[in-house]
Structure 1
Amino acid sequence: MIRNPILPGFNPDPSICRLGDDYYIATSTFEWYPGVQIHHSRDLVNWTLVRRPLERKSQLDMRGNPDSCGIWAPCLSHADGLFWLVYTDVKRLDGNFKDAHNYIVTSPTIEGDWSDPVYVNSSGFDPSLFHDDDGRKWFLNMQWNHRTESYGGAPKHPAFDGILLQEWDAQTQSLKGPIKNIFAGSPLGLVEGPHLFKRNGWYYLTTAEGGTGYDHAVTMARSRQIDGPYEMHPDVHLITSKDAPDAVLQRAGHGQYVETPDGEAYHTHLCGRPMAPKRRCTLGRETALQKCVWRDDWLYLAHGSAVPAVHVPAPKDVEPLKQPVRIDYSFDQPELPKDFQWLRTPEPARIFSLTERSGALRLIGRESIGSWFEQALVARRQEHHSFRAETVLEFEPETYQQAAGLTHYYNRHKFHALVVTWHEKLGRVVTIFSCPGDFPHARMQFPIESGVALPEGPVHLAMEIRENDLQFFYRFSQEADWTPIGPLLDAGVVSDEGGRGEHGSFTGAFAGMFAFDVTGRAKTADFLSFSYECI
């Protein structure tokens, strides 16, 4: 069986592509660098992260991108001996405008180097590329209408002004021919995330609707002509949990169709797993997969309901690989462990090094933990509702403007951090910074005031998240007992719904290491190890 979500933790907007017996899923990464996660599977059950293709400054520079901007809704396809990846780099979230720029990159292989991007357009986000059986290529994206009161956190239907279609000329690498608005969406509204495929002479269009919160859905329509008119699915929505508040997989929508070599039908979708009592999704929007069947040239979920299932029949008999309960990361290689990413900058050598000190991840203090430009924060996704993370830190601050530590992080106004810094009377201290989502002011709090004085030497830092509760710990040596520090903090604010609510931000929670030096002197902090354990 397939057990959903197949990609736990922050992995939204899944675009699936099959080449032979190999399946690939591309997901959004927003402001996290490198851009786009691509997972691989040969059985639809077991998935492995194999590539983040947008990895060079010539491909992607997100310095200055606000929280929840950056890489939205990639579309992965294969044609003409190439993999094609289409994506948006969004430069603005709040206000009437989005400034959403769409690009295409290509590569002969998933694992190889990908091309520099070719600019396509900026009329809206969520692009996709459809390769027709006559050799023509078609570019789709939603059209954004700024003449509304739609803004980050409170989307309005009129801003989502239908799905645009235009032909793409691969030779000139440019759009050509008329621009047509082919689909206005269903009455649910907020139409986005278009994907086209063709079967039995029908063009099928699936879109995401209802916003990316609890009213989310995959809507389906079909036409004999690529530019329409499109008729709606008999049930309108192929996948949705909007009318099933008790379903395990909530916020279901935005996905793509795929067939196995034997013609079995599946459809990806994003989902969220909220925690009681406030229905907050600390794991962000995750990727799930549903088995489908065809009836009367319409697609339906195989189990007979539009509400997504947790357990889904796989195309062949295969056991899920056992995942480790604890992962211990060492920093003795010249590259980061593949689970880790950083924020925005294409110049990682300015924020971290794995070679300046053998066996350590050296973070170079730059801007604050809330910066949109250059901050030294290296982290991995939270994949479980309850987990423990530990690190060992060597850091000698000289002023309170220098700090380093361990963080449970979502964005600039939703994080908790266990911090080593300096205090004028106590000297080196361990303390807590907490920013519990009190948007729009994003005011940081200091739950233990000045902190606890530290002796010389390395400091061991830990945090335990048990669903909605976070507790920090510290100790001075491997042999010492862990000492809890500070009160229980609200881990649930480090979620999509924390702060201003379900449409206010779109990423997920991370556990990681950070350093900053707002003096501008670039003080370094050495992290000797990191571990992540499901508890």
Structure 2
Amino acid sequence: MTEIRNPILPGFNPDPSILRVGDDYYIATSSFEWYPGVQIHHSRDLVNWRLVKRPLDRASQLDMRGDPDSGGIWAPCLTWSDGLFWLIYTDVKRRDGAWKDSHNYLVTAPAIEGPWSDPVYLNSSGFDPSLFHDEDGRKYLLNMIWDHNRTKGDKFGGIVIQEYSVKERRLVGPIRNIYRGTDRKFTEGPHLYRRDGWYYLLTAEGGTGYDHAVTMARSRDLFGPYETDPAKHLLTASGTQSYLQRAGHADIVETQDGEHYMVHLCSRPLDATRGIPVDGKDIHADDVRRSPLGRETAIQKLIWEPGEFPRLAHGGNAPADTVPAPDLPPHPFEPEPKLSRFSPEGLPSAFQWLRTPEPERLFSLSERPGALRLFGRESPGSQFDHALVARRQVDFAFRAETEIDMTPGDYQHYAGLISWYGRFKFHYLAVTADEAGARVLTVYSCPANWPDPRVEYPVEPIPLPETGTVRLGCDVDGAALRFRYAIDGGDWQDLGIELDQSAISDEAGNGPGNNFTGAFIGICAHDSSGRGRHADFLSFLYEPR
């Protein structure tokens, strides 16, 4: 029997929404501040998956300039009805403190490839929206509601529902709070199913950390009351030593043969029960785990008997590392190339940039044929105009390399290879200039040292030839990152330092607020003078080790 190995979408791919249309399966996942918005993967066997579309790709649909780290696109929901794909998504403009500014929208398309419509605004009462298509043709929006007046406990006010009028293109009728969750709290991520005369409501609870869980309730009436599953949590890794941790935020799909599978987010923390040695010392306490790959997508097989609550097919409620695959013809895809070359046809599919719907301000694939030209914009701390192009880290051990051609104007002009999580978590190997204008190589490191996340300078600037390309490389193995470089076709030179790659993770640091994305590796250019001077990158290699 063929097995599915978890996670099925490795690296930063959280909050999965799964859909089957005929023989095709699709999963939509959150993309947060990365542009274009929403990742949609395709499969025909639930084993092999390929990225096929990022549908929010123009300013009329999405503009995230100014959105905070781990803001932007949260928890999309993908459904199919009336000959259309329906995609619901949230754009989070503020995420810290007592208030949330989270705006919910709807776009549609006749095919996954598009064209995707301009958005319909829905509401801003909370996040994690989903669209339910009832058997009578009526449609309902569900979302968690944010209660900023709560002074004790969490501010998650329950799951609300309101009808959506297709004709009027807006929400209509009363807003009803149908489920307030269990004592696990933080009730969010609703998905609704109609089955055997019941409405089944699937929710996420416990926050998206190590107490995360999937909870189900049901009712004979759409508007409740909803009775919580006597087992309470269908899925959780809390209190276990499971390989997959932080399991929660799920969605269910039925196969052509009537089998049921549930996709859910998870993470794979580095083995911190012994501590992670870096430079001869443990970087954090035994009870602090770190997941550089972020929140990933896994799948579990369910047994769902008529009239009953579903259960994991392997028993219990802890996630399994492997699950039996459905009896479907294998459908593998071509593997992603390790070496990326650049052409005017567009960025390689693995790459994204940050926040802006105007990528022409950040980069060009045509000004120098065969190269990706990045225009130096604002600093690494910018939430607006940041010339960074990167791909997800999907392996615990890998090597990455690029070749840069750049003559810095002065020390305010710098560009190179970066391991990136957010504005306060990165390691950056940069070509720049010293005060005298001579070209040098340096490292900027911001390893999430809260409450004072200052940039560190772990090496003295290394002199470089005045002109010519420079190869930049890094090697990551678990919690350790080492940078290297080469000039004039010469041998690689190790910088002699080891940096903490576990800092490039959700759990590292404690501010500002929680963190929800994952590690990226990529290239960037900055020009703090505002002159927009460029750097050319000739190739990019990512290779698992």
Counterpart CA distance in 2 for 1:157 and 1:239 is 23
Counterpart CA distance in 1 for 2:85 and 2:400 is 37
Counterpart CA distance in 2 for 1:243 and 1:440 is 29
CA positional deviation for 1:324: 5.1
Aligned residue identity for 1:173? R
CA positional deviation for 1:456: 2.2
Contact 1:90 1:99 in 2 (8 A): yes
Contact 1:213 1:502 in 2 (8 A): no
Alignment of 1:187-226 (within 5 A): 187-226=183-222
Which of 252, 260, 279 aligns to 2:255? It is 260
Aligned residue identity for 2:22? G
- Residue 135 of structure 2 corresponds to residue 139 of structure 1: no
- Partner of residue 29, structure 1: 31
Deviates more, 1:159-168 or 1:314-323: 314-323
> Residues 304-340 of structure 1: CA distance to partner in whole angstroms, max 9, x if unpaired?
1211111111112655848859600000242000000
- Partner of residue 298, structure 2: 288
Which of 79, 84, 103 aligns to 2:81? It is 79
Aligned residue identity for 2:69? D
- Partner of residue 387, structure 2: 376
Which of 244, 249, 252 aligns to 1:249? It is 244
- Residue 530 of structure 2 corresponds to residue 520 of structure 1: yes
Which of 144, 152, 158 aligns to 2:154? It is 158
Aligned residue identity for 1:327? K
Counterpart CA distance in 1 for 2:378 and 2:334 is 36
> Residues 266-325 of structure 1: CA distance to partner in whole angstroms, max 9, x if unpaired?
111000000022420000000011100024521001001211111111112655848859
- What's the TM-score, normalizing by structure 1? 0.96
Unaligned runs of 5+ in 2: 273-287
Contact 1:46 1:321 in 2 (8 A): yes
**CA 1:417–1:94 in 2, change beyond 3 Å: closer, same or farther?**
same
Contact 2:43 2:331 in 1 (8 A): no
Counterpart CA distance in 1 for 2:208 and 2:249 is 8
- Partner of residue 434, structure 1: 445
Counterpart CA distance in 1 for 2:524 and 2:126 is 34
Counterpart CA distance in 1 for 2:69 and 2:496 is 28
- Partner of residue 171, structure 1: 167
- Partner of residue 153, structure 1: none
* SS of structure 2 residue aligned to 1:410: strand
Alignment of 1:225-374 (within 5 A): 225-244=221-240, 246-277=241-272, 278-295=288-305, 296-316=307-327, 321=332, 327-374=338-385
Counterpart CA distance in 1 for 2:404 and 2:71 is 31
Counterpart CA distance in 2 for 1:124 and 1:237 is 23
Alignment of 1:35-114 (within 5 A): 35-114=37-116
Counterpart CA distance in 2 for 1:441 and 1:232 is 44
Counterpart CA distance in 2 for 1:279 and 1:299 is 31
> Residues 62-111 of structure 1: CA distance to partner in whole angstroms, max 9, x if unpaired?
00001000000000000011100001000012111110000000000001
Counting aligned pairs with the same residue, the percent is 59
Alignment of 1:378-527 (within 5 A): 378-425=389-436, 427-478=438-489, 480-500=490-510, 504-527=514-537
CA positional deviation for 1:158: 3.2
- Partner of residue 8, structure 1: 10
**CA 1:399–1:372 in 2, change beyond 3 Å: closer, same or farther?**
same
* SS of structure 1 residue aligned to 2:497: strand
> Residues 197-256 of structure 1: CA distance to partner in whole angstroms, max 9, x if unpaired?
111111000001000000001100110001110111121111110121x10000000010
Contact 2:188 2:205 in 1 (8 A): yes
CA positional deviation for 1:498: 1.0
Aligned residue identity for 1:139? L
Counterpart CA distance in 2 for 1:322 and 1:426 is 49
Counterpart CA distance in 2 for 1:182 and 1:419 is 53
**CA 1:157–1:24 in 2, change beyond 3 Å: closer, same or farther?**
farther
> Residues 156-186 of structure 1: CA distance to partner in whole angstroms, max 9, x if unpaired?
7430000000111111011111100000001
Aligned residue identity for 2:93? K
**CA 1:502–1:457 in 2, change beyond 3 Å: closer, same or farther?**
same
- What's the TM-score, normalizing by structure 2? 0.94
Counterpart CA distance in 2 for 1:316 and 1:477 is 54
Aligned length: 527
Aligned residue identity for 1:463? C
**CA 1:157–1:312 in 2, change beyond 3 Å: closer, same or farther?**
farther
Aligned residue identity for 1:8? P
* SS of structure 1 residue aligned to 2:154: helix
Aligned residue identity for 2:181? G
**CA 1:8–1:61 in 2, change beyond 3 Å: closer, same or farther?**
same
Contact 1:194 1:208 in 2 (8 A): yes
Unaligned runs of 5+ in 1: 150-155
- Partner of residue 285, structure 2: none
Counterpart CA distance in 1 for 2:445 and 2:428 is 6
Contact 1:432 1:486 in 2 (8 A): no
CA positional deviation for 1:440: 4.1
Deviates more, 1:432-441 or 1:490-499: 432-441
Pairwise CA RMSD: 1.6
CA positional deviation for 1:59: 0.4
Contact 2:458 2:497 in 1 (8 A): yes
CA positional deviation for 1:145: 1.1
Deviates more, 1:89-98 or 1:72-81: 89-98
Contact 2:378 2:387 in 1 (8 A): yes
**CA 1:477–1:419 in 2, change beyond 3 Å: closer, same or farther?**
same
Aligned residue identity for 2:186? L
Contact 2:293 2:393 in 1 (8 A): yes
Contact 1:213 1:503 in 2 (8 A): no
- Partner of residue 281, structure 2: none
Contact 1:400 1:421 in 2 (8 A): yes
Counterpart CA distance in 2 for 1:325 and 1:41 is 15
**CA 1:503–1:94 in 2, change beyond 3 Å: closer, same or farther?**
closer
Contact 2:50 2:333 in 1 (8 A): no
CA positional deviation for 1:403: 0.4
Deviates more, 1:222-231 or 1:156-165: 156-165
* SS of structure 2 residue aligned to 1:487: coil
